[in-house]
Amino acid sequence: MERHEYDVVVIGAGGAGLRAAIEARQQGKRTAIVCKSLFGKAHTVMAEGGAAAAMGNVNPSDNWMVHFRDTMRGGKFLNNWRMAELHAKEAPDRVWELEAWGALFDRTKDGKISQRNFGGHEYPRLAHVGDRTGLELIRTLQQRVVALQQEDEKLHGDPEAYIKVFAECTITRLLKDGDAISGAFGYWRETGDFIVFDAPAVVLATGGIGKSYVVTSNSWEYTGDGHALALLAGAKLINMEFIQFHPTGMVWPPSVRGILVTESVRGDGGVLRNSEGRRFMFDYIPDVFKDKYATTEEEADRWYNDQANNRRPPELLPRDEVARAINAEVKAGRGSPQGGVFLDVSSRLPAAEIIKRLPSMHHQFKELADVDITKEPMQVGPTCHYIMGGVEVDADTGAASVPGLFAAGEVSGGMHGSNRLGGNSLSDLLVFGRRAGAGAAAYVDGLPKRPTVTGVEEAKAEALAPLERTGGENPYEVHHELQRTMNDLVGIIRKSEEISEALEVIEKLKERARNTASSGSRIYNPGWHLALDLRNMLLVSECVAKAALMREESRGGHTRDDFPGMSAEWRRKLLVCSAEPDGTSITVEERVQQSMRGDLISLFERSELEKYLTEEELAEYDAAVKES
Amino acid sequence: MGYKAKFRVWRGEGGEGRLEDFTVEVNEGEVVLDVIHRLQATQAPDLAVRWNCKAGKCGSCSMEINGKPRLGCMTRMSTFEESETITVTPLRTFPVIKDLVTDVSFNYQKAREIPSFTPPADVKPGEYRMQQVDVERSQEFRKCIECFMCQNVCHVIRDHEENKPNFAGPRYLMRIAELDMHPYDVAERKESAQEEHGLGYCNITKCCTEVCPEHIKITDNALIPMKERVVDRKYDPLVWLGSKIFKRQR
């Protein structure tokens, strides 16, 4: 069996994985990047809007404290505040660093990086390149990896001496030595041959779980691999009930249903209308945001040119609010012909300006839907976009509870609380990708000796099982049923009976998934790959459903029809998922969240905190304010 | 609404293969990749195809559809007659791994041969100042999604395996142009484009531009200007004299 020895193995080659790998290599560690797709194809390319970083290039009033506050507000105060703090403080450096690696962001008139408005951000904050920022980010990091390889070639005569990409390779198990990580087991997609990584540190950067849903903006890779690998290795997941449904996915044609329409459309003036032509978002401004959003169309429209003296248009409310509003309009029978609502930019900006600011969207609608967005409105509706929940990590190092295991980006949990602001994902991957890479490097430095790989035979048997069975279940059918179940029963709006029903279905699907059979050889066999991915999707879906059933309130990306209000008691609680030792089922436990540090909580007004915190916590706030 | 389409798909691995016929359901609004996926789910579970974003942004699902390089996710079924047989084959310039999946490692190797972005040593992160108009030229090339269809269609290597070692291909010659036009890049790009990366092989037939799904004007905006810059350097006696007298900084 093919075997490699590394210091750090990074699983996933999106923004977080590449940034982690770059950091580990820059700290002198022999680093492997293992990814399911080709190098440079990761889902990060889909990010459109930008990377949020309080550089203050467009509005000098912006700073990390404002960004921190926006992030906590967006997450409804459930965020891991230390992560939100580090993120807000370090994002500008991470963006500037990309520029030194060759990224070409759009510019301001004085030659700095331009920043755009986005939902939930008080000031223009998103560094961007048109609406293809994710591509710029991934390409820049990819080219940085190549630059490091060129350095290594000069120094060591081998470009892959210190950093190597294992593309189209899937990890199915983390390997351990006692309690600690000792490596990873996987297969080459191309040949079906197995591969073992012998490594004391593993960084998970596998992204999200969207493929458990029918309508999703996520690609096939998003099967919750890192979430499941972490669970099976004994780590814990938090906040799994919080899933962000992006308010504006394409609804037509059916084959592209779910594909994203960037929030920049709204940031740049696009408005949402129902079938009666009403700009309905004015009807959905929640109390906690009342004083920050315009209440008339006139004021909202003035804001685009004069942000100092007007409040923001309600189309720019955080994503969860907009998604629920669209859902409600469609349910009330005021939707568009294909079951969404109208997003119109054609009547708001000149055609040339639309093409300049939203080139990818113009292209995407023209090519995929035969719609010219400079002439007619788009039809949009909510789509499963992002999971706030993930591996519970130490904010500073990205370390999970299992020694040697690290996580960064979407697969980690805590940073975004119950709802992520647009633009905070690209900055999250940079900030915490770097931190996880550094955390892994420091962990390796501190080890007295390398751990020993165990469990290879078991991992191999598990991976081969679907190929050895005949006449079993079709993995595509099991997958399809899981997607329908999650979409219909644990979607945007949830209720107890439906979630319970979903859990019953998941139990049955788990049984069926254990009995899947894949025909064909081991060479590039997607049916086999899917059969293996099902284990991960089912574990993750069980976490989502069980946590969703337990949390009896509505907050951010978790809306309970039977518990519509936000509860201060629930805000203090995190739901922590772990797998049974045999890996067949999930248990969920409540844990009390640590109180915010005094200097951070003092950044908020009491009147705002009263909407979120318990009396006990408010007393802590008063004490903190008095002290400062 | 739905109809049954005739598909002819290349199947095979290990250097052998053949076109296989399928009859498969097609629904309104679908693209070729949807139909390939339906084949996987219903008739050929081990049919190999690369894909990822399904929105024309990642450049994974490059294939040849009726002999033309296309992204499977951006080729609408409504552009074909219902009676037409649609032939889907892998990219021809690269070795087939299985079915529609080819070994594109050539491209990653070429990427590594182009020296990386080289800013002046004294500019710190955060100090970069560039005007929009000066970054726009390179930004056009950075729209590239690396679908490798330009590499696939370029006749310099499409049927000439022997040229591969000496020719970077349109995608990477464009990368050189991108860096050469970057306001802060200080590396020498012109001579090496010609001497080491095979810019001279390109005889501007614009095949690359035609297949680019991002509509990047590879030939007009990257390759031809690069050729002009090379010519300026090579034959301009003043530049030549200057380089002799003032030893160009590397």
Residues of chain A found within 8 Å of residue B78, distances taken between Cβ atoms: 370
Closest CA to A364 of A446, A435, A259, A277: A259
Helical segments of A389-493, H only? 424-445, 456-468, 475-489
The pTM is what? 0.93
pLDDT, residue B234, reads: 65
A244-385 CATH choice from 3.50.50.60, 3.10.50.40, 3.90.700.10, 3.10.20.30 = 3.90.700.10
The predicted structure's pLDDT at residue B237 = 63
pLDDT, mean of residues A454-465:
97
Least trusted range by pLDDT, from A219-223, A455-459, A602-606, B165-169: A219-223
B193 and B92 assigned to the same domain = no
Return the pLDDT at B241. 65
B202, part of any domain: yes
- Residue A446 CA to residue A7 CA, distance in Å, equals 12
| φ, ψ (nearest 5 deg) of residue A158 | -140, 115
Residue B250: predicted pLDDT:
39
Nearest to B52 among A143, A219, A368 (CB): A219
**Per-residue model confidence (pLDDT) at position A357:** 87
Residue A177: phi and psi, rounded to 5, are -125, 105
Nearest to A41 among B28, B52, B56 (CB): B52
Contact (CB<8Å) A147/B138: no
pLDDT at residue number A209: 97
Assess if residue B204 is contained within a domain: yes
Determine whether the interchain pair A136/B142 forms a contact, defined as Cβ–Cβ distance below 8 Å. yes
Q: Which of A69, A73, A125, A266 is catalytic?
A: A266
Residue B97 maps to a domain: yes
pLDDT tens string B118-156: 999 999 999 999 999 999 999 999 999 999 999 999 999
H or E stretch at B23: strand B16-26
- Work out the average pLDDT over A257-286: 92
What percentage of chain B has pLDDT greater than the value 70? 92
pLDDT grade for B1, boundaries at 50, 70 and 90: low
CB–CB contact A368 B119 (8 Å)? no
- Cβ distance B48 to A474 less than 8 Å, yes or no, reads no
B124 shares a domain with B171:
yes
Same-domain check for residues B162 and B53: no
Q: Which of B56, B130, B142 sits opposite A111 (nearest CB)?
A: B130
Question: Does residue B230 fall inside a structural domain?
Answer: yes
Residue B38 above 50 pLDDT? Answer: yes
Q: Which CATH number belongs to the domain containing residue B190 in this structure?
A: 1.10.1060.10
Arithmetic mean of pLDDT over chain A? 95
Q: With contact defined as beta carbons under 8 Å apart, do A557 and A511 qualify? A: no
Nearest by CB: B132 against A106, A252, A521:
A106
CA distance B1 to chain A (A): 12
Residues B123 and B233 in one domain: yes
Q: Are residues B130 and B238 in the same domain?
A: yes
Whether pLDDT at B85 is above 90: yes
Tell me which amino acid residue A625 is: V
Residue type, B231: V
CA gap A300, A546 in Å, rounded? 40
Query: What's the gap between Cα B6 and its chain centre?
Result: 29
* pLDDT for position A471: 86
Confidence bin at B245 (pLDDT 50/70/90): low
Is B135 close to A107, i.e. CB distance below 8 A? yes
Does B144 lie in the same domain as B113?
yes
Has residue A265 got a pLDDT over 80? Answer: yes
B17 interfacial to chain A (CB closer than 8 Å) = no
For range B108-118, the mean pLDDT: 97
* pLDDT-based confidence at residue B239 (cuts at 50, 70, 90): low
Taking the CA of residue B209 and the nearest CA in chain A, the distance in Å comes to 17
Question: What does the block give as tokens for A494?
Answer: 């949830």
3-state secondary structure A552-603: CCCECCEEECCECCCCHHHHCEEEEEEECCCCCCEEEEEEECCCCCHHHHCC
When CB atoms are compared, the residue of A143, A220, A476 closest to B52 is A220
The minimum CA-CA distance between B206 and chain A, rounded to whole Å, is 22
- Based on the structure, what is the number of domains in chain B? 2
Instruction: For residues B140 and B183, state if they share a domain.
Output: yes
Q: What pLDDT was estimated at residue A131?
A: 84
Is residue B111 located within the same domain as residue B219? Answer: yes
Is B247's pLDDT higher than 80? no
The alpha-helical segments, DSSP class H, found in A101-205 are 133-156
**Which residues on chain A are in Cβ contact (under 8 Å) with B58?**
37, 41, 45-46, 219
pLDDT of B248 > 50? The answer is no
| Start-to-end Cα distance in chain A | 61
Query: Which of A111, A219, A364 has its CB closest to that of B129?
Result: A111
All residues of chain B having their beta carbon less than 8 Å from the beta carbon of residue A364 are 55-56
Top residue of A367, A383, A430, A473 to mutate, by most chain B CBs within 10 Å, is A367
What average pLDDT does range A211-225 have in this prediction?
Answer: 92
Q: Does B11 touch chain A (CB under 8 A)?
A: no
B122 and B170 together in one domain: yes
Per-residue model confidence as pLDDT tens digits over A175-211: 999 999 999 999 999 899 999 999 999 999 999 999 9
| Residue A260 pLDDT exceeds 90 | no
**CB-CB neighbors (< 8 A) of A152 in chain B:** none
The predicted-structure confidence for A373-398, as pLDDT tens digits, reads as follows: 999 999 999 999 999 999 999 999 99
Cα Rg for chain A, rounded, in angstroms? 23
* CA–CA separation, A31 and A41 (whole Å): 20
The answer to whether B116 contacts A96, with C-beta atoms less than 8 Å apart, is no
pLDDT confidence of residue A331:
87
Domain-embedded: residue B250: no
| High-pLDDT (> 70) share of chain A, % | 100
* Average pLDDT value over all residues in chain B: 92
Domain assignment of residue B62, yes or no: yes
CB contact under 8 A, B97 and A135: no
**Is B53 found in the same domain as B66?**
yes
* Alpha carbon distance A17, A31 (integer Å): 11
Together in a domain, B124 and B135: yes
So what's the pLDDT on residue A504? 98
ipTM of the complex: 0.92
Please tell me the distance in Å from B67's CA to the nearest CA on chain A.
20
Least reliable range by pLDDT among A5-14, A229-238, A333-342, B232-241 = B232-241
Write phi, then psi, for B16 (nearest 5 degrees): -120, 155
Same domain, B52 and B87: yes
Tokens 């647009």 — which residue? Answer: A422
pLDDT of residue B249: 46
Q: Does B76 touch chain A (CB under 8 A)?
A: yes
Q: Is residue A231 very low, low, confident or very high in pLDDT (cuts 50, 70, 90)?
A: very high
Cβ–Cβ < 8 Å for A561, A493: yes
Catalytic: A266?
Answer: yes
CA distance B180 to chain A (A): 12
What CATH number has the domain bearing residue B19? 3.10.20.30
Per-residue pLDDT reduced to its tens digit, A526-583: 899 999 999 999 999 999 999 999 999 999 999 999 999 999 999 999 999 999 988 8
Listed by number, the residues of chain B in 96-135 with a beta carbon closer than 8 Å to a beta carbon of chain A are 97-99, 101, 104, 108, 111-112, 115-117, 119, 123-126, 128-132, 135
**What pLDDT does residue A610 have?**
95
Q: Looking at A189-331, which runs of residues are DSSP E strands?
A: 194-198, 201-204, 237-238, 243-250, 271-273
Taking CB atoms and an 8 Å cutoff, what residues of chain A touch B51?
219-220
The yes-or-no verdict on residue A420 having pLDDT over 60 is yes
**Tokens in use for B62?**
């490059």
The predicted-structure confidence for A22-65, as pLDDT tens digits, reads as follows 999 999 999 999 999 999 999 999 988 899 999 999 999 999 99
In degrees and rounded to multiples of 5, residue B23 shows phi and psi of -115, 125
DSSP B218: I
| Annotation says A362 is catalytic | no
Q: What is the pLDDT of residue B174?
A: 98
Contacts of B53 (CB under 8 A, 6+ apart): A41, A43, A45, A46, A219, B60, B73
Q: Where in chain A is the domain with CATH 3.90.700.10?
A: 244-385
Residue numbers of the domain that contains B124? 105-245
What pLDDT does residue A256 have?
80
